[in-house]
Structure 1
Amino acid sequence: MTYCVAIKLDAGLVFLSDSRTNAGVDHVSTFRKMTVYERPGDRFMVLQSAGNLSISQSIRELLPVEQVKDPEGGEPVTIWNARTMFDAARVLGQAVRRVHDRDAEALRASGVEFNAALIFGGQIRGEGMRLFQLYSAGNFIEATCETPYFQVGEAKYGKPVLDRVVRPDMPLAEAAKCALVSMDSTMKSNLSVGPPLDLVVYEADSFRSDKLVSIDMANPYFRMLHTSWGQKLREVFDALPDPVWDDAQAGTPLKVQEPQQRPLDKVTAQ
């Protein structure tokens, strides 16, 4: 399994992926889940993938050469000549469908479902940044101000911190820190997610990025974040008052259940 997260902000985009792949408990491998497509000064795009590794690798192989029809009757659209990120996402969706048409039936005959989840985002000159999540059918949704991030893979462990912290106007450095905390929380709770991690930070309207880094457990910043986050969580938890049960005790009591409410199931030994 894997975990990928991407965040769209006013200031730019943040992408973070792990690289662990499991094929059974005794076969753990490392494969990169993130690919950067860049033409400096013109376009910058990032693809992240989760799900069946053979499917996602096939999609990544097809994407640079995949084409879709131009609705205006011009030359076929590729990710390299697409005028908008929406058109580039259509090209990616077509690549997903092409791999599905080729492999899905054979996979199903072997008891394997066609499983791919993708995040695709970036910026093409002439429009603002955009971020999409694509599904196994090649269809997609787009991030909004109300939902400024996407996750694929083992999403549940890292979601709470994103929900509490991410906002569109936050600085890129804070968003990168939040993504790393989200990843650390996921790695703590799920052994199928692990380093090295790939982090890309893109500044709006730059059409390039020099903030691309691979992070392993020896990375000083990530080690500090891993240790500090656990300690600070414990300190905050310890600072919260314990629950009390009636008004006679200090603190804010839990309300005693009213008689008309359905009682809790309780078994008493005889």
Structure 2
Amino acid sequence: MTYCVGMRLDRGLIFMSDSRTNAGIDNVSVFRKMFTWSTPGERVITIMTAGNLATTQAVVSLLDERSKVPADRKPSILEAPTMFQVATLVGETLREQVRVHAGEAPEAETKFGATLIVGGQIAGMEPRLFLVYPEGNFIEASEDTPFFQTGETKYGRPILLRAYDRDMSFEDAVKLLILSFDSTLKANLSVGMPLDLQVYETDSLQVGEERRIEQDDPYYSEISSGWSEALRTAFHSLPKFSF
């Protein structure tokens, strides 16, 4: 399992992903799940992956290969004219790999499935954020749905729903995401550190702040312990129940 969040703000886009993969409690590994392609001054595209590791690695490798070697049939994600077309290409590549890994067996398709978050900006257009399903179709973030989650979503969702604000700063957005991930980490062992963070500022057309947050990161530790104490304080301040 995994946990990834892509969020759209007035200031731009922000991404965070964990790095744990597992095939059972005695077979846990660390693999990066956030990947970025850019042509500075022209476009920045970030993809986060969740699902079958072989499928997601094949998708990322194919997208990377096709961005370096001219394609015979269609443009690469570094050549597609719009972010919608980028999402379409990513969806087609994902669908292709799901079929390959599933051996064209429909009953096995879920096992080899994956879900991707795709976000970025192309010069002259607005930043856009998409959630791509294993079937290759996708939806786009909107005013009503300004962020996407993949993987183990339920534990970290409540804090996002309660505290998200489209005009919040990147700094506050990072704090919010850390709280969401901390809740998930405490509730599910299949999600684990380190966390990868990336910030993209609208119209910068270059990769922004990137950081890997390790288990012993001082800020993460301070936020995690502070949030636990704040919850306990809030709980005890609420009116008591009486029979």
TM over 0.5: yes
**Distance in 2 between residues matched to 1:59 and 1:111, nearest whole Å:** 15
Question: Does the 8 Å contact 2:131/2:139 carry over to 1?
Answer: yes
Instruction: Tell me if 1:18 matches 2:18.
Output: yes
Match for 2:162 among 147, 164, 182?
164
| Paired amino acid for 1:40 | P
Q: Which gives a bigger RCO, structure 1 or 2 (Cα 8 Å, sep 6+)?
A: 2
1:114 deviates by 2.5
Partner of 1:58: 58
**Distance in 2 between residues matched to 1:153 and 1:199, nearest whole Å:** 17
How does the TM-score come out when normalised to structure 2? 0.93
**Distance in 1 between residues matched to 2:6 and 2:216, nearest whole Å:** 23
Q: What pairs with 1:90-239 in structure 2 (closer than 5 Å)?
A: 90-105=88-103, 113-239=111-237
**Distance in 1 between residues matched to 2:146 and 2:186, nearest whole Å:** 24
1:106 deviates by 6.5
Counterparts in 2 of 1:237 and 1:109: CA distance versus 1, 3 Å: closer
| Paired amino acid for 2:100 | R
Question: Does the 8 Å contact 2:99/2:109 carry over to 1?
Answer: no
1:171 deviates by 1.4
**Distance in 1 between residues matched to 2:115 and 2:144, nearest whole Å:** 21
Question: Does the 8 Å contact 1:8/1:149 carry over to 2?
Answer: yes
1:98 deviates by 1.7
Counterparts in 2 of 1:126 and 1:148: CA distance versus 1, 3 Å: same
**Distance in 2 between residues matched to 1:108 and 1:216, nearest whole Å:** 39
Counterparts in 2 of 1:127 and 1:231: CA distance versus 1, 3 Å: same
Unaligned runs of 5+ in 1: 68-74, 246-270
Unaligned runs of 5+ in 2: 68-72
Counterparts in 2 of 1:231 and 1:63: CA distance versus 1, 3 Å: same
Tell me the SS of whatever aligns to 1:170.
Answer: coil
**Distance in 1 between residues matched to 2:133 and 2:157, nearest whole Å:** 19
User: Higher mean Cα deviation, 129-138 or 163-172?
Assistant: 163-172
1:76 deviates by 2.8
1:244 deviates by 2.6
1:113 deviates by 2.2
How does the TM-score come out when normalised to structure 1? 0.84
Cα shift readout 1:126-179 (whole Å, capped 9, x = no counterpart):
100000000000100000011100000000000000001112121111111111
Counterparts in 2 of 1:139 and 1:232: CA distance versus 1, 3 Å: same
Cα shift readout 1:199-230 (whole Å, capped 9, x = no counterpart):
00111110112410011111111111111111
Counterparts in 2 of 1:110 and 1:204: CA distance versus 1, 3 Å: closer
Percent of aligned pairs with the same amino acid: 45
Tell me the SS of whatever aligns to 2:153.
Answer: coil
**Distance in 1 between residues matched to 2:40 and 2:218, nearest whole Å:** 30
The structure whose residues are more often helix, as a share, is 2
| Paired amino acid for 1:89 | A
Tell me the SS of whatever aligns to 1:206.
Answer: coil
Partner of 1:89: 87
Q: How many residues align?
A: 238
1:112 deviates by 6.8
| Paired amino acid for 1:26 | D
Alpha-carbon RMSD across the aligned residues, in angstroms, is 1.8
